[in-house]
């Protein structure tokens, strides 16, 4: 498929924004043989360069297998699958952060990856991070200034005091994730990739996030949402891609795919259903039963930033 298809601006017709065509993604893990940290092991790896992976002690992890789909402008697409099924890997490849082994990914417009692990500067204040994050996403200084208050209000960071002028290291993981989402959501994205962002924050923040995703869709973007919460997926997406062991098992309307997925996993959100609380009256915010990814991601191939390199995103292969 030619990538000029992506830019076909035929009004009234569905406009493709992301095309994945037979995509395979393979991680290579070094040091699966003994002595991985030593200088001699590094030297012998260099000497064995050119030989096949197994001979060099490199283990291959085939994370995504022959995945094809076309995403259109205005769609919100959920990515579901059990742990390790390749959702985050596929998202990173669409963002241009990971190369594909086989196949192609074509994107129209700039994809932005918004993950709970996306890094802002911990030693800088929330305020500075809003400015830097906005600039990194391609907003002008003027636009950032105009939207600053909106971003802070959306994040709710200042609801419990003047936290926005404190360094981000003083924030709870939920607060930091909310600020990241708020910065990224301030801009209208061509393709917005969200990795479990809705899993963080309290219920009222999740509601605001879901509403904002719906707005982004109306403003003609395409949203991909990776989540283990079937409810978030139901509330936000009308189409779902189900990955299992790296393969695309189903692609279709949310209800149809979730029905099959729930049958496969043993019930709605069953795997992650929260245990009943001993003191329900003490709870102020209902839990979703989702475990947010917090802290650093050991699997991240590079230090991720709030937004991805727009150049890198167009030709990941
Ligand atoms: N940096 C990496 N190096 C090697 N293997 C990796 C790396 N990142 C992920 N993998 C492997 O790729 C496969 C897919 O992982 P991925 O994180 O994409 O799954 P996921 O569906 O997002 O999982 P989860 O729901 O647990 O977040 C897994 O087998 C995982 O072990």
pLDDT in tens, 238-257: 999 999 999 999 999 999 99
Which atom of ligand 1 is closest in space to residue 300's alpha carbon?
1
Residue 306, pLDDT above cutoff 90: no
Of residues 283 and 20, more confidently modeled: 20
- Please report the domains of the chain, with CATH numbers, ordered by start residue: 73-282 (3.40.50.300)
Percent of the chain predicted with pLDDT > 90: 39
CA distance 20 to 1: 10
Ligand 1 atom closest to 85 (CA): 21
- Measured in Å, residue 86 CA sits from the centre of ligand 1 at 6
Q: What's the pLDDT at 279?
A: 45
Residue with tokens 């669409």, as numbered in its chain:
94
- Residue with the nearest Cα to atom 4 of ligand 1? 27
| Model confidence at 309: pLDDT above 50 | no
Please state the ipTM of this predicted complex: 0.98
Q: What is the pTM of this model?
A: 0.71
Predicted confidence band at 45 (pLDDT cuts at 50, 70, 90)? low
Which pLDDT value is given to residue 175?
A: 86
Q: Which among 89, 101, 82, 92 is positioned nearest to 244, based on CA atoms?
A: 82
Distance 31 CA to ligand 1 centre (A): 18
Compute the average pLDDT of residues 54-59: 73
Residue 204 pLDDT class (50, 70, 90 cuts): confident
d(CA 277, CA 280): 6
Q: What is the pLDDT of residue 50?
A: 63
Residue 113: pLDDT over 70: yes
Atom 12 of ligand 1, nearest CA residue: 63
Closest residue by Cα to atom 26, ligand 1, is 83
- Rounded-to-integer distance, Cα 26 and Cα 302, Å: 15
Least trusted range by pLDDT, from 83-92, 108-117, 153-162: 108-117
pLDDT (tens digit, 9 = 90+) per residue, 154-170?
A: 999 888 889 999 999 99
Question: Model confidence at 149, in pLDDT bands (50, 70, 90)?
Answer: very high
Residues with C-beta less than 6 Å from any ligand 1 atom? 27, 29, 61, 63, 81, 83-89, 299, 301
Q: Which of 31, 87, 229, 248 to mutate to test the pocket of ligand 1 (most atoms within 8 A of CB)?
A: 87
End-to-end, the C-alpha distance of the chain in Å comes to 14
Expressed in angstroms and rounded, the spacing between residue 87 Cα and the centre of ligand 1 is 8
85, 95, 240, 248: residue to mutate for ligand 1 pocket, most atoms within 8 A of CB: 85
Distance 168 CA to ligand 1 centre (A): 28
Q: Which of 86, 92, 227 to mutate to test the pocket of ligand 1 (most atoms within 8 A of CB)?
A: 86
| Whole-number Å distance between alpha carbons of 267 and 249 | 18
Q: State which of 82-91, 204-213, 290-299 shows the largest mean pLDDT.
A: 82-91
Is the pLDDT score of 278 beyond 60?
A: no
Please state, in angstroms and rounded to a whole number, the distance separating the CA atoms of residues 310 and 308.
6
pLDDT of 48 above 70: no
């Amino acid at each position: 498929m030619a990538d000029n298809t992506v830019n076909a601006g035929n009004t009234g017709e569905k406009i493709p924004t992301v095309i994945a065509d037979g995509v395979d993604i393979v991680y290579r893990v070094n040091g699966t043989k003994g002595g991985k940290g030593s200088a001699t092991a590094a030297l012998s790896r260099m000497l064995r360069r050119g030989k096949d992976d197994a001979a060099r002690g490199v283990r291959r992890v085939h994370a995504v297998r022959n995945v094809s789909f076309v995403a259109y402008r205005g769609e919100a697409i959920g990515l579901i699958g059990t742990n390790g099924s390749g959702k985050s890997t596929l998202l990173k490849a669409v963002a241009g952060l990971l190369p594909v082994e086989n196949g192609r990914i074509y994107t129209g417009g700039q994809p932005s990856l918004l993950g709970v692990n996306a890094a802002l500067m911990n030693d800088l204040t929330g305020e500075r991070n809003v400015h830097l994050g906005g600039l990194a996403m391609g907003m002008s200084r003027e636009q950032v200034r105009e939207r600053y208050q909106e971003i802070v209000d959306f994040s709710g960071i200042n609801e419990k005091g003047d936290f926005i002028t404190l360094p981000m290291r003083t924030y709870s993981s939920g607060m930091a994730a909310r600020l990241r989402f708020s910065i990224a959501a301030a801009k209208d994205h061509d393709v917005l990739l969200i990795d479990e962002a809705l899993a963080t924050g309290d219920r009222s923040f999740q509601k605001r996030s879901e509403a904002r995703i719906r707005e982004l869709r109306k403003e003609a973007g395409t949203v991909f949402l990776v989540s283990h919460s079937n409810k978030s997926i139901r509330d936000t997406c009308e189409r779902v891609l189900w990955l299992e062991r790296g393969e695309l098992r189903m692609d279709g309307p949310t209800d149809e795919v979730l029905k099959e997925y729930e049958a496969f996993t043993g019930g709605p959100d069953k795997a992650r259903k929260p245990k009943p609380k001993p003191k329900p009256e003490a709870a102020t915010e209902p839990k979703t039963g989702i475990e947010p990814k917090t802290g650093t991601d050991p699997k991240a191939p590079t230090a991720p930033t709030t937004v991805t390199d727009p150049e890198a995103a167009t030709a990941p292969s």
